[in-house]
Amino acid sequence: MKTSFWKIMAASMVGFILASIVSILLFMGAVGSLISKFGEAEKVEIEKESVLRLDLSLAIPDRTPQNPFESFNFDPYDMKKITGLNDMLRNIERAKEDESIEGIYLDISIVTCGMATAEELRNAIIDFRENSGKWVIAYATNMTQKGYYIATAADEIYMDPQAWMDFRGLSAQVMYYKNALEKIGVEPQVFRHGKFKSAVEPFLIDEMSEANRLQTLTYLNSMWDHMLTRIAETRDISVEELNGLADNLSLNSAQAAVDYGLIDGLKYKDEILSMINEKIGNDAEEDINFMSMAKYNTHFKTLKIKNTGKDKIAVVFAEGNIVMGNGDDSKIGGDRFAKAIRKARLDEDVKAIVIRVNSPGGSGQASEIMWREIVLAKKEKPVVVSMGNLAASGGYYIACAADYIYAHPNTITGSIGVFGLMFSGEELIQEKIGINVEVVNTNEYADMGNIARQFSEEERAYMQGMVEGFYDVFITRVADGRGMTKAEVDEIGQGRVWTGENALANGLIDGFGGLEEATTKAAELAELDDYSLVEMPKAKDFMETLLEDFSMQTRMELLSQIPGFNTTAYQQIQDFIEMEQGVYARMMMDVEIK
């Protein structure tokens, strides 16, 4: 009996060891495959009669990531490299003069980018079409509103005959967690300034406040009106008619989209390919040399093209939530960002700085650290800000000191307000779980913030005082940067969210434009004719991002496979859980605009 037991035990141990070795080898094989696929750029040659293909189904960050798991997928045959907006815009600009590129094919069946990113891409495509003499064709198996907006930059728009087209107006959805927290016995401890500061509303109430509803409707109307105006310009349909189509749900079939003049025709994919072949002079069934954004970008990187100008403009990217410390390529670490600005300021060859902000805000202290470095840089060389989809709260805090601020009409900005958020699990811990927490303090308030109890009145007053003090600092920074009084800033502040169009009217920005316009303005302010661009902070290398991000990306991929699991809600709650104690300048919980 004993002998049998030890035999089974030994066999189990051997099996476990072998399984572990196999798992490690499989993982190393996967890593090796990724390194060969993502780590080193293969040389890409561009053949004559190529077509640049824009597939907008992947996320479009402001900057091309080095992270091999940014587009991770458990299907090894369905892995695509993400290309950032910075390289997309450069590629479209290069394609205007590239004799090998015949035209652009827009694949817009799925569009995942933000509204301002869509605007910037649309502007670049219109410029390509008008100034290159080349064609642009857009095609979708199904058409979303954002996809259609981008498609209207093309010469021709086609859909699959059985496709549907979404054209109903914009809708914002916010999830509220108050009832869920009550059920588990958790109570939020909130301190805020600003009647429009709705970042913490989902934890306090179970429906949208009137102030939040007002600001949300204001910026949605602004974005929708802008979209319709631009669509009307390219499709020769009035704004009134477009609104009528949305209000009456008139686009109930693909044919209806043709009948009302929103698109040019219905075609199957093979017919689109035949049309492209005809345009480039190929036989109808011939394979088309489609050049993806990633491949086209790799081609220019392997050429090692260098600008000849010694003078430089530093383009500093600030994308994601603002956090203390170094952050990463998806979070703006106050220390890492400040170091990049400092390096650009001290580099004598850098004559101007462009800061690309795409952030809902975050840590107030980190925002202050970054603001300080921007102010120091501004004393020595021009600083211009380009706002992306979001430059709100802490995102606006770091932008307000610049010499000039650009945004798109549909950029979300403002949200000049402050809050502090902590949680009390007193009911959960003591009543529902039955745990008794005993505390020993040297001083009366030594355990302030203890999750096992609520704040006292004195502690609430202390925290509210911190929030009020930081709000005063915030509006002072904006007033100094924008040449306004604190009272004027407070009038448009109070946590209220604006679109870029609103922000231009109330003085929070200086003009409409993207990265290109911001760079041109920086060169103008620095009186530069010949210059090169340098992107900062330095992107983390392959192994750094592999070790940092594999576990999180894998976890999110696994969670997304659970039926009914809401990854958006999970990510929102994670963002708030990760917040350190202190004061935050952040806009509302991520709003999903459809």
Claim to verify: residue 256 and residue 375 sit in the same structural domain: no
What is the spatial distance between Cα 404 and Cα 283, in angstroms, rounded to a whole number?
52
Q: Which tokens hold the place of 560?
A: 């997304």
> How many domains would you assign to the chain?
2
Is residue 29 situated within a structural domain?
Answer: no
- The radius of gyration computed from the CA coordinates of the chain, to the nearest angstrom, equals 27
Give the Cβ contact number of residue 70 at 10 Å. 20
Specify whether 339 is located in the same domain as 424.
yes
- Tell me phi and psi for residue 23, to 5 degrees: -60, -45
Report the SS3 class of residue 36: helix
Residues belonging to the active site = 197, 393
Residues 6+ apart with CB under 8 A from 569: 175
525 and 393, same domain (yes or no): yes
Query: Domain limits at 141?
Result: 50-167+251-303
103 beta partners: 51, 135
Q: Tens digits of per-residue pLDDT, 9-61?
A: 555 555 556 555 555 555 555 555 555 554 445 666 778 889 999 999 888 99
Write down which residue in 259, 284, 303 finishes a domain: 303
Q: Please check whether residues 325 and 288 belong to one and the same domain.
A: no
Which residues of the chain fall below pLDDT 50? 1-3, 5, 38-40, 72-79, 305-306, 550-554, 556-559, 561, 565, 570, 580, 589
- On whether residue 468 sits in a domain, the answer given is yes
Which pLDDT does position 423 carry in this prediction? 84
Indicate if 324 and 440 belong to the same structural domain: yes
177 is a domain residue? no
φ, ψ for residue 351, nearest 5 deg:
-100, -15
DSSP annotation of 37 reads I
- Domain with residue 429: its CATH number is 3.90.226.10
C-alpha span between 129 and 461 (Å, rounded): 60
pLDDT at residue 517, as a whole number? 96
Residue 39, pLDDT score: 47
Are residue 292 and residue 366 in the same domain, yes or no? no
**299, 318: one domain:** no
pLDDT single digits (tens) 449-499: 888 888 999 999 999 899 899 999 999 999 999 999 999 999 999 889 999
DSSP code of residue 525: H
The answer to the question of residue 224 being in a domain is no
Residues 380 and 483 in one domain: yes
Mark whether 297 and 424 lie in a shared domain. no
Q: Is residue 355 part of a domain?
A: yes
- Which of 303, 320, 335 is the last residue before a domain boundary? 303
Are residue 425 and residue 285 in the same domain, yes or no?
no
Query: Is residue 462 situated within a structural domain?
Result: yes
Q: What are residue 139's DSSP bridge partners?
A: 107, 158
Q: Are residues 256 and 365 in the same domain?
A: no
Of 303, 338, 371, the one marking the end of a domain is 303
The answer as to whether 42 is a domain residue is no
Answer for the pair 489, 481: CB distance below 8 angstroms, yes or no: no
Q: What angle do CA 574, 579, 584 make, to 5 degrees?
A: 125
Does residue 369 fall inside a structural domain? yes
Domain identity same for 55 and 94: yes
